[in-house]
């Protein structure tokens, strides 16, 4: 089965470099990015879309859904919860440590990275049991980091630079 993983378009907390647990919708740039992505993927065949329940992912999924296929919402695809970091600039943490699978530092009440990865791995393990051909998944940067760990290994545990950019797409074989 082929999986096409897409990160949602830009939202203001991306633009301003903030942690956020708010259910924020796409900004104008994010809508433009999604429309551009729709054009670049129009030849990709997919059975359906699975999306994070967050507005930014669902909005992106609706824009890129050129074949007007079903969109299934899966809560496991939510972004890593920053907890008490929400609303704060990214610089309040050591970003390398925040996205280090082996880090022992806990920043506020943010979701533990291992628990977060396990949530995504559970989703992918369940997909393995299905008989699908091609799936388009719309999610978040953190989710793309967990996909990287699942398909490419944990290695040194550093995931800061292993995530997708807004409206970037990556293909995986499951």
pLDDT digits (tens, 9 = 90+) for 33-76: 999 999 999 999 999 999 999 999 999 999 999 999 999 999 99
Pairing mode, if any, of strands 134-139 and 48-51?
A: parallel
The pLDDT confidence band at residue 167, using thresholds 50, 70 and 90, is very high
pLDDT of residue 121: 98
Kindly name the residue from 8, 13, 59, 140 that is annotated as catalytic: 8
pLDDT per residue as tens digits for the range 76-132 = 999 999 999 999 999 999 999 999 999 999 999 999 999 999 999 999 999 999 999
* C-alpha triplet 174, 127, 65: angle, nearest 5°: 90
The domain total for the chain is 1
CA distance 59 to 64: 9
The answer to whether residue 79 is catalytic is yes
> The domain spanning residue 167 has which CATH number?
3.40.50.1240
Kindly name the residue from 10, 13, 79, 140 that is annotated as catalytic: 79
Structure tokens belonging to residue 50: 């699975």
The pLDDT confidence band at residue 154, using thresholds 50, 70 and 90, is very high
- Residue 7: name the closest of 61, 66, 43 by CA: 61
Contact 100, 158 (CB under 8 A): yes
Beta bridge partners of 135: 3, 48
Q: How many C-beta atoms surround the C-beta of residue 118 within 10 A?
A: 14
pLDDT of residue 156: 96
Which residues form the domain of 33?
Answer: 2-173
CA distance 71 to 67: 11
CA distances from 106 to 20, 52, 135, 142, 147 (A): 17, 25, 34, 16, 22
């Amino acid at each position: 089965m082929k999986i096409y993983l897409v990160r949602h378009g830009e939202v203001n907390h991306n633009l301003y470099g903030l942690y956020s647990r708010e259910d924020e919708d796409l900004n104008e740039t994010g809508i433009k990015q999604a429309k551009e992505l729709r054009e670049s993927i129009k030849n990709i065949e997919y059975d359906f879309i699975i999306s994070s329940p967050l507005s930014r992912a669902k909005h992106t999924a609706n824009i890129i859904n050129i074949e007007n296929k079903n969109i299934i919402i899966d809560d496991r695809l939510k972004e890593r919860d920053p907890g008490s970091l929400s609303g704060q600039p990214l610089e309040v943490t050591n970003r390398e440590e925040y996205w280090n699978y082996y880090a022992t530092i806990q920043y506020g009440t943010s979701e533990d990275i291992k628990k977060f990865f396990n949530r995504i791995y559970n989703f992918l393990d369940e997909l393995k049991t299905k008989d699908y051909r091609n799936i388009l998944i719309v999610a978040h940067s953190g989710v793309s980091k967990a996909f990287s760990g699942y398909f490419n290994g944990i290695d040194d545990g550093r995931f800061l630079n292993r995530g997708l950019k807004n409206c970037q797409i990556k293909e995986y074989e499951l």
